[in-house]
Chains A and B, each alone.
Chain A
Amino acid sequence: MISSLRRKFILIAMASLIGTMAVLCTAIGISNHFITANRVDKAISILHQNGGTFLPPGTHFDPSDFNFQITPETPFETRYFIVELTAQQEIRSVVLDHIAALDRQTVVDTISQIVNTGAKRGYVDHYRFGVFPDEAGGSTVIVLDCFLQLQAANNTLRITVIIFLACVLTVFALLLVLSKRAIRPFVDNLERQRQFVTDASHELKTPLAILSADMGLLEDTYGEDKWLESAKSQITRLDRLIKNLVELARTEETIKEDTVELFSISEIAQASADAFQPLAEADGKTLTSEIPDEISLKGVQGNFFRLFSILLDNAVKYCDPAGNIHLSVSVRGRNICISVSNPCAGVDTTQLSRYFDRFYRADTSRARSTGGYGIGLSTAKAIVTRHKGRISNYYADGVITFTAVIPQMG
């Protein structure tokens, strides 16, 4: 139980970190590329507006302002070529003064690529283009070299991803080391709670024993008396309650490996069904079962005797008069499925999930008469949980069903 708590803690922490950082990296990456494209498009449109040259530079330019600014160096830093196309997509004129890398042929190829995309702006290799239609039906294509900008943007992205991974790994390593310390308060609390129940039970039993012995002596001295009988039965009840609480506390401990064995759950189910058959019949109810042979399960055998006992005992207690209780055991994939159902009128479905809480009793008036302390189902849940299974209940058509699903091989 502790290791699963630790695993959950690490999982949640890592998921939060990865989620946040993924959003961060994506945001940085996208906005970076977006800003880069925007700036280049701005430069292209300025070129177009000024017939292929830049405006004179402003008087004030500041590197910390990320908007596109024209400095005296801009015309020399910006590498571009301009092509004018006719209405028939043929090259009318080419201005190559401001580009070094391309010859006529490459230009032709690039232009045809651009024309084929049919877009007004976009990227071709490491160039950004802008297509501007003119009045005569032709168009002007301005192509800007963005090698440096794209390189910068990609580098930023790469660095961001690397840092992201480094952070994730570091935090993971830290969590592995520190998670034990982080969950220690919970572990200690759990341990204290278990110890408390065992200690308390011992302390409770001592005065109970004295009471019980005193009652016995009183009875011998004064003969049978209904008040004495009542006192004795309450002592018995307390004794059983303490026993159940201790059992619950011990069941909630993780399994010691040496008590785990492979056994036939079919046999245990059958034995339990046989044991409860007369009890059901004495109460005017019937018990049917569906238990295939030879189903084995890896776990603590004694726990499963107890599990069937709890479920069947509850079923007999809370089954409607003359109703039928049904026990079934089946294999579903890698799990064993144990199911006990019985007709039960007037179940409040909103409270169903609380049945497994300690001391919870469903129907107070009925519960009083049937006895029990509300510990049974929480013990059942503890048994199923320590075998890494899940127990649940549902209510349909007046029938309440309890189902435990447990991995067959532990």
Chain B
Amino acid sequence: MRILVADDEPEMTMVLEALLKREHYSVDVVYNGQDALDYGLAENYDCIVLDIMMPKLDGIQALQALRSKNISTPVLLLTAKSQVEDRVAGLDSGADDYLPKPFDNREFVARVRALTRRGQGYLLEETT
């Protein structure tokens, strides 16, 4: 399965990539919202992990653009903006899940798994 990870902090994307690759996902990494939009339109991802505060386009704008082009890929917003208003705004913009930073690694992976599970039809996976 392919995951797109978008975050402007290279050290963050390094960790996220490592966590996802350990779960045998194939990972593409981008560092700004415009690239996130371009990649999201070009490829068929099983899940997109988006930060909000990014240069060029922010996560919300990229998400809204993807949704307006009818890309229904599940999106997880992963961001330091954690106030209730931010969460509501993010989810209402089309995100499927919202995980504030800092987060627990296991929770992050579990949430990605949950989102990709939906895409494949509901399969009861064995927990590792």
- B117 on interface, CB distance cutoff 8 Å: no
B18 near A217 with CB under 8 A, answer yes
In angstroms, Cα B16 to Cα A293, docked, is: 52
**CB of A208 within 8 A of chain B?**
yes
Contacts of A45 in B (CB 8 A): none
Assess whether B110 is interfacial by the CB under 8 Å rule. no
Q: Could you say which residues of chain B place their CB within 8 Å of the CB of A239? A: 102
- What secondary structure prevails in chain A residues at the interface with B? helix
Complex-state Cα separation, A235 to B53, whole angstroms: 22
State whether B103 touches A209 (Cβ < 8 A).
yes
Point out the residue from B16, B80, B106 that lies within 8 Å of A206, measured CB to CB: B80
Query: Is residue B126 contacting chain A, with contact meaning CB distance below 8 A?
Result: no
Contact B53 A212 (CB under 8 A): no
Q: Does B113 contact A (CB under 8 A)?
A: no
Which residues from 47 to 88 on chain B have a C-beta closer than 8 Å to any C-beta of chain A?
53, 80-83
**B15 CB–A CB distance under 8 Å:** yes
For window 95-112 of B, CB contacts with A under 8 Å fall at 101-106, 108
Q: How far apart are A215's CB and chain B's nearest CB, in angstroms?
A: 9
Q: Is B12 positioned at the interface, with any CB of A under 8 Å from its CB? A: yes
Whether the pair B9, A213 counts as a contact (CB closer than 8 A) is no
Whether A216 contacts B106 by the Cβ 8 Å rule is: yes
Residues of chain A lying within 8 A (CB to CB) of residue B102: 205, 208-209, 211-213, 235, 239
State A202–B103 Cα separation when bound (angstroms): 14
A residues in contact with B106, CB < 8 Å: 216
Alpha-carbon gap, A213 to B82, bound state (A): 17
Do B80 and A213 touch (CB < 8 A)?
A: no
Complex Cα gap A216–B18 (Å) = 11
| Cα distance, A201 to B82, chains bound together (Å) | 10
What CA separation (Å) do A208 and B102 show in the bound complex? 6
- Which residue in A202, A205, A213, A246 is a CB contact (below 8 Å) of B15? A213
**B27 at interface by CB-CB < 8 Å:** no
Q: Is A23 an interface residue (CB 8 A)?
A: no
Q: Is the CB of A210 within 8 A of B80?
A: no
From 213 to 236 in chain A, residues with beta carbon under 8 angstroms from any chain B beta carbon are 213-214, 216-217, 220, 235
Contact B103 A210, beta carbon cutoff 8 Å: no
B101 CB, min distance to chain A CBs, angstroms: 3
A213 adjacent to B105 (CB under 8 Å)? yes
Residues of chain B with a CB closer than 8 A to A246's CB: 83
Instruction: Write the B32-53 contact mask toward A (1 if CB under 8 angstroms, else 0).
Output: 0000000000000000000001
Task: Tell me the complex Cα distance, A246–B102, Å.
Answer: 15
Contact B105 A210 (CB under 8 A): no
**Cross-chain contact A217 with B9 (CB below 8 angstroms):** no
Q: Which residue on A lies nearest to B81, using beta carbons?
A: A202
Q: Are B103 and A212 in contact (CB under 8 A)?
A: yes
Beyond A208-B101, A235-B102, A239-B102, whether A213 also contacts B81 by CB under 8 A is no
A202 and B83 CA atoms in complex are apart in Å by 10
Q: Which residues of A contact B9 (CB under 8 A)?
A: 206, 210
Q: How far is the CB of B19 from the nearest CB of chain A, in Å?
A: 7
Pairs A–B under 8 Å by Cβ, sample size 29: A202-B53, A202-B81, A206-B9, A206-B12, A208-B101, A208-B102, A209-B12, A209-B80, A209-B101, A209-B102, A209-B103, A210-B9, A210-B11, A210-B12, A210-B15, A211-B102, A212-B102, A212-B103, A212-B105, A213-B15, A213-B19, A213-B103, A213-B105, A214-B11, A216-B106, A217-B18, A217-B105, A246-B83, A250-B83
The 4 closest A-B pairs by CB, nearest first: A209-B101, A216-B105, A205-B80, A209-B102
